[in-house]
A and B are shown apart, each in its own frame.
Chain A
């Protein structure tokens, strides 16, 4: 038995001494567990943000604003108001994992962030602002904790507070960029697929974003103070600019219609197309406006094969645009009593449209015309006021309609409809409901299934798509 004891002791010693190293093979041999630079994460956060603004939820919002028709399968289900929580899963993940977690990691990896920090803050603020616009209350202050796990359940912040936090984040981003001692590295500039590391452009976009959020919370005076520093030139528009011909780097709508989902949806026969149709008596074409070319550019057949136009593989997808800045400006001016100023801003936009640089002419013979407006056009019996409403309302109506058109393939039409329904019902774009039985417009999109199933803090009772968010009540 002595022998036994010796052997056991010997074996134990062997195990104690040798094995911990030998067993140390669990480090992932296939994937990185660390990245050398935070800049390597930047591009992913920008692509994630692109998906939030140009993906499934955006298209869903277009079904609810006369922009698209869902013909079959999931696209039809959403179109007839059966939007399901599962439809929101991906974009929700793009926000929290795709952007916020990555930003935290960037800050952890690169302590001396400088310009990079300003960029990622602005990018996060853009996504958060959209998220709270879509969903209302969302987790923010307790989101992405340092100790994630099965038992941690982030609380939901009030929509008003989220907007306020987003504005603070934008201010922080602007300040950081203004004070940045250095810009991005060469690789970092390549990774910044929106602005190529041009900090001044990020600052402009941040101001337009601030203006957008003030507009959404109906603080028009505050919005006016931001637009003056907002995007100042068409070339400064922040956009996802596809670089190639494979689906992974193409226009997001193109990707859908070129996939097996071809034919599931279309813009054919939409209110939007009718509004721009010169043949339509209720359209927006008149002596000073010919939307033929823009209408054909902004047409999504849904069947695929689009070589040019808004759904072409290489079609640029604006995220924060020169047009948006001008139109916020115009709206805020008219709301603060400066009708002529508002018209001037509208005309700046029309000059841009007139320049031929605002969109591609899809068919060679397509015509377009955007003559300047004058005040008389908005006075009773003017071409923009044939029904003789108040002058400022007529101007506002045209601004909102122009936002509806310029904002096609963005959340602008969906946001305006919800923002204006209560306060400015007289000037909203009168797109119809999608089913005979529907009685109300969609006021939000649903919380994702993935969050409902896992986070007991999700608002209760669960709001449906017709439940108005706080800022629109």
Chain B
């Protein structure tokens, strides 16, 4: 790698100092590296204060003519400390350069994939070093970057193995478009789809969480990970850059003997937070009595039961469990004091063990470098039967074909498969069934034969707490064991990513590059709900068999020119032309109402009658061409000006669009003589535009096989033998991209020989012409149109700072911190529409004019004009049923990360804290569980110390022992008992849904690790061995107790901060070993 750097430097610096003048005397010498004593070619040697200079040759030697004995020579090289040596009378000056760790980090990859010195760039980046992207032994790229960068919000929305995570850079920038940043790997876009399950994708509030496709790649292959937050850097990506750009470079072989590394990790995952449940009261709907099959757990006090076996009716129907053959008779009187909270929980959750193995092999010579890696991850989910496995294979080859032509090819093959559990607002979900189950109901016997009083046997019936006799086809809510063991939700992904890059150097100043990539994947999914699954459409079986095919091609032709315009001004210009094509096809076949009680997801037409099998095909086809360029003027490495732009033509756009960018940097410590403790100072300003192209195929008004419904009463052309209807959504042939215009300015400072650094950035951006579905006057004949119209703003401030406390051969210690604040505002929505990102949820997360994106919107307290609750005669709040209110904002006021790294000899210790403050969270699970009476907060008895009334107005005198809580809504204490929780909490409208919204601020130990590297005393073949132990989400401090406050029912996207029986987050511990040979 270093040799490559050296050689490139030879080119670059060769240009600058390509003339020599007649001089008085010659100085010669040799430059060597302090690291290994090797000679260093390409080192810049210059007489201070002049342009007189040269570079060292391949043997590290140089000769330079200087006019007199005055002055000094400056030796500099990227990544090494700069040495300044007075010439005096010497004629031979040999120099040893040592590595400048600080500077080495500062080589970044530009938006077009070129290496640049960070100091010469004027837009903000956050960069994570390869070895810090993930802790050793882990396998989920996105989660590994959380907390490490300012302005980048990573939310792991589910604890399901391999599940997706939300990446949000500088706030939300779209209402209807893609929400995730563009990911560029080695100059080629990488697909990062997150396609939510159940099949049609319509039920985003439920189904199965899927994974982000970014997590397909092998984290071990990553050489560098950068986030381009600003619009100026993204402008070159035009219509895909609105959410920011992540640039990843992957590893290549290095010249030298073959290097083999093997690493292995063992990860132990546990549930991070549990919803607290009560076990004091039994099943029953109306205070005080046990009631079989009741919905809620407001029944009798379990401690007051007589104990012993329950009374059963063994004269009629009964249930024979498949689980152990037990015969269960209907319970007619509850005597047992046994409760099952823990045993039920343990039947669902486990301590999950995951293995991760990675092997890489690299090496080469001066013409050929190769890199090969293989990775294998076997993960268990904390929910039993949930799993995820992935195999990666990467081959990369760099070949010098001629002196001028270099080829770089890489291919990745990935296969993964998973089985994840139904989650969310879903009667077939695992958590919904578990948490609603009464504490005195044992979920063990969940499937078996129901034998009626008349002797009729129904095999394979589900038994749940609402159907304890399994006497009905309708289980109402799934027994969680049914969800785990009988339902199938598999996703099998095969993916191929290949790229080829050819670089041809016409001369020392001009390079031509051809860069192409292909990214194919097939995601084959099954959603199988056997007979007797809860839910009307699943009761007699439902199978959804879906295949998603995705293809993306990308080709770029680039020309790169490097010239000096004058001796003070150098210029680097790149012109590129690119083509991109994306195609997706989804085939979905659905079969329901199975012919019989089948238990396997066979061919849909095998298990259902023809009229119960349906299919649909969805294709999207998008293409664009880009003509783009960037030109970069460097005045004495002091003033840096970059102009960029992309002229883009997109298949879904009516007209081509131009995205400009300007970046201006001023390294002011080179303009003034500043105190020595200020090592570096740069002021920067950027302006840029990026966009989001409209969705495909929205141009024309299409015909559909329409259906006509006015209220749960639809009739349809499909069922009437076919026919068409022109859609009520009007096509739009005049779509423009949504365009984000951003202005950003900032300051980068480094102090004390670069040991302390601070970088601050302020930005404001406005997204104009945001695309959304806008309501039309239906008397036009069309209800809506997908059109440009909304405006969104983000304003923010970002700070990154780091301090290298100590760095010597024995000790290393550094600390870093980041802070970011983003204020989002939806400033305009045509027609005042409210766009809901949380369909199906009583608490919506919406875009509404005058509020930040994603605010919670629901029915809530009836308040007076001063915002005080209007209380009823009993002192209880009332629901304002006149409409929805904005009741909270899930966007944090600020976020921060604080990391500490320490090393002593072979030991290394890392810890990263992350915090999110001021974000609201909707605890809908807790709210509903209080209604159900299973939540711990409604499971205690209190002795009243004063006379209190309940919601109904019944008076409870002082000294009475009651189940409930005391609360003061503003008119004195009242008793919150079942009456209250039933009347004002529960499902749908007319409830105090706004009360679910609480402060969701959190602080967590995002990750921590200790590693030890052993270098000595090893067999000769082994270079070093590193062993480590690490943890993730080790501690979370938050008022949200029942779940990780990052968990989100709506997964990846714009609907945020809602927990509704969402599968829980995890805490993990990883033990790893890595050996390098």
Chain A residues close to B by CB (< 8 Å): 1, 3-4, 7-8, 11-12, 14-15, 19, 22-35, 40-44, 47-48, 50-51, 55-57, 59, 74, 87, 89-94, 96-98, 100-102, 104-105, 138-139, 143-145, 148-150, 152-154, 190-191, 193, 243-244, 246-250, 252-253, 255-256, 259-261, 448, 450-451, 453-455
Contact of B779 among A50, A139, A193, A250 (CB under 8 A): A139
B472 at the interface (CB under 8 A from A): no
User: Contact at B619–A30, with CB atoms within 8 Å?
Assistant: yes
Partner pick for A144 among B621, B624, B714, B780, CB 8 A cutoff: B780
Using a CB-CB cutoff of 8 Å, which residues 767-823 of chain B contact chain A? 774-783, 785, 787, 789
Q: Is B781 in contact with A451, judged by CB distance below 8 angstroms?
A: no
Is there contact, CB below 8 Å, between A249 and B720? yes
User: B34 contacts the other chain (Cβ, under 8 Å)?
Assistant: no
Other than A27-B699, A41-B726, A455-B779, give 9 A-B pairs with Cβ distance below 8 A.
A1-B563, A3-B561, A12-B627, A26-B651, A32-B703, A55-B710, A55-B711, A101-B726, A149-B785
Complex Cα–Cα for A154 and B832 (A): 19
Task: State whether A250 touches B711 (Cβ < 8 A).
Answer: no
Asked whether B19 is an interface residue with its Cβ less than 8 Å from the other chain, the reply is no
Given contacts A32-B724, A152-B780, contact A255 B561 (CB under 8 A): no
Q: Does residue B650 face the partner (Cβ distance < 8 Å to A)?
A: yes
Q: Tell me, yes or no, whether B625 is within 8 Å of chain A by CB.
A: yes
Say yes or no: A255 contacts B712, CB within 8 Å. yes
Q: Name B694-740 residues within 8 Å CB distance of A.
A: 696-697, 699-704, 706-728, 730
List of 7 A-B pairs having minimum Cβ-Cβ separation, nearest first: A248-B719, A55-B710, A101-B781, A56-B710, A31-B702, A455-B777, A43-B723
Residues of B within 8 A of A1 (CB): 561, 563
Q: Are A7 and B711 in contact (CB under 8 A)?
A: no
Contacts A243-B720, A252-B713, A261-B712; A92 near B778 (Cβ below 8 A): yes
Minimum C-beta distance from A305 to chain B (A): 15
Complex Cα distance, B723 from A42, in Å, reads: 8
Partner of B715, one of A32, A47, A74, A102: A47
A277 to B33, CA, bound (A): 108
Q: Which residues of B contact A44 (CB under 8 A)?
A: 706, 708, 717, 723-725
Known: A47-B720, A55-B713, A450-B775. A33 touches B649 (CB 8 A): no
Q: Find out whether the CB atom of B651 lies under 8 angstroms from the CB atom of A23.
A: yes
Q: Are A29 and B715 in contact (CB under 8 A)?
A: no
Q: How far is the CB of A267 from chain B (nearest CB, A)?
A: 16
Which residues of B579-629 have CB atoms within 8 Å of chain A's CB atoms? 579, 611, 617-625, 627
Contacts of B701 in A (CB 8 A): 33
26 interchain pairs, CB-CB under 8 A: A4-B573, A12-B627, A19-B625, A23-B625, A23-B649, A24-B651, A25-B696, A26-B697, A27-B699, A32-B703, A41-B724, A48-B708, A89-B778, A101-B726, A139-B779, A148-B780, A148-B782, A149-B730, A149-B776, A150-B785, A152-B777, A154-B780, A244-B719, A256-B713, A259-B712, A453-B775
Interface residues of B in 965-996 (CB under 8 A from A): none
Q: Chain B residues with Cβ under 8 A from A149's Cβ?
A: 730, 776, 780, 785
A42-B723, A249-B719, A255-B714 known; A50 and B708 CB under 8 Å? yes
CB distance from B581 to the nearest CB of A (A): 8
B619 adjacent to A247 (CB under 8 Å): no
CA distance A454 to B730 in the complex (A): 15
Contact of A90 among B625, B710, B725, B777 (CB under 8 A): B710
Q: Mark B556-585, 1 if CB is under 8 A from A, else 0.
A: 010101010000000001010101000000
Residues of chain A contacted by B942 (CB below 8 angstroms): none
**Interface check B962, CB cutoff 8 A:** no
Report the minimum CB–CB distance from A360 to chain B (whole Å).
21
Distance in Å: Cβ of B590 to nearest Cβ of chain A: 14
CA A48 to CA B714, docked complex, whole Å: 10
Shortest Cβ gap from B641 to chain A (Å): 18
Identify which of B617, B650, B719 contacts A30 (C-beta below 8 A).
B617
**Closest Cβ–Cβ distance, residue A86 to chain B (whole Å):** 10
User: Are B706 and A90 in contact (CB-based, < 8 A)?
Assistant: no
Cβ contacts under 8 Å, B711 to chain A: 55-56, 59, 74, 87, 90, 256, 261
Tell me the bound Cα distance from A94 to B713 in angstroms: 14
Q: Report chain A residues within 8 Å CB of B831.
A: 453-454
Q: Which residues B619-647 have CB closer than 8 A to chain A?
A: 619-625, 627
Of B621, B707, B724, B774, which is within 8 A of A248 by CB?
B707
With A25-B621, A244-B719 known as contacts, the answer to whether A143 contacts B713 (CB < 8 A) is: no
Contact A19 B713 (CB under 8 A): no
With A102-B726, A259-B713 as contacts: A190 and B721 at CB distance below 8 Å: yes
Give every chain B residue within 8 A of A8 (Cβ-Cβ). Answer: 575
Closest residue of chain A to B734 (Cβ to Cβ) is A149
A residues near B724, Cβ cutoff 8 Å: 32, 35, 40-41, 44
B426 interfacial by beta-carbon distance below 8 Å: no
Q: Complex formed: what's the CA distance from A4 to B574 in Å?
A: 10
Contact of A7 among B559, B702, B703, B722 (CB under 8 A): B559
Which residues from B are CB-within-8-Å of A100? 781
Q: Does the CB pair A150–B787 fall under 8 Å? A: yes
B617 CB, min distance to chain A CBs, angstroms: 7
Residues of B within 8 A of A28 (CB): 697, 699-700, 702
Question: Are A246 and B575 interface neighbours, CB within 8 A?
Answer: no
Is B1042 in contact with chain A by the CB < 8 A criterion?
no
Residues in B with CB closer than 8 Å to A25 are 621-623, 651, 696
**How far apart sit A243 and B720, CA to CA, in the bound complex (Å)?**
8
For residue A274, give the distance in angstroms from its CB to the closest CB of chain B: 26
Contacts A25-B622, A44-B725 hold; do A448 and B778 have CB atoms under 8 A apart?
yes
A14 to B577, Cβ gap below 8 A?
Answer: yes
Once the chains bind, are B779 and A105 in contact (CB under 8 Å)? no
* Nearest neighbor of B832 in chain A, beta-carbon distance: A453
What are the residues of chain A within 8 A of B573 when measuring CB–CB? 4
- Assuming the contacts A148-B780, A255-B715, asked whether A29 and B697 have C-beta atoms less than 8 A apart, the reply is yes
| In contact, B577 and A11 (Cβ under 8 angstroms) | yes
Residues of chain B with a CB closer than 8 A to A248's CB: 707, 714-716, 718-720
Taking CB atoms, residues of chain B closer than 8 Å to A31 are 702-704, 727
Considering only CB atoms, which chain B residue lies closest to A255 in the complex?
Answer: B713
- Cα distance, A315 to B508, chains bound together (Å): 86
Which chain B residue lies CB-closest to A98?
A: B708
B506 at the interface (CB under 8 A from A): yes
Q: Is the CB of A26 within 8 A of B575?
A: no
Residues on B with beta carbons closer than 8 Å to the beta carbon of A153: 777
B14 interface residue (CB < 8 Å to A): no
List, in ascending order, chain A residues with CB within 8 A of B575's CB: 4, 7-8, 11
- Contact at A450–B716, with CB atoms within 8 Å? no
Report how far A100 CA is from B781 CA in the complex, Å.
Answer: 7
Find the residue from B506, B625, B650 having the highest chain A CB count within 10 A.
B625
Which A residues lie within 8 Å of B725 (CB)?
Answer: 41, 44, 48, 97-98, 102
Nearest CB on A from B822, distance (A): 31
Give the residues in chain A near B789, CB-CB below 8 Å: 150
Contact B699 A26, beta carbon cutoff 8 Å:
yes
In the complex, what distance in Å separates the CA atom of A255 from the CA atom of B624?
46
- A56→B712 CA distance, assembly (Å): 9
- Known A28-B702, A102-B726: A96·B780 in contact at CB below 8 Å: yes
Which residues from chain A contact B930 at a C-beta distance below 8 Å? none
Chain A residues closer than 8 Å to B718, beta-carbon distance = 248
Q: Which residue of B lies closest to A145 (CB)?
A: B780
User: Please, which residue of chain B has its CB at the minimum distance from the CB of A249?
Assistant: B719
The answer, yes or no, to whether B510 is at the interface (CB within 8 Å) is yes
Which residues does chain B contribute within 8 Å of A450, judged by CB atoms? 775, 777-778, 783
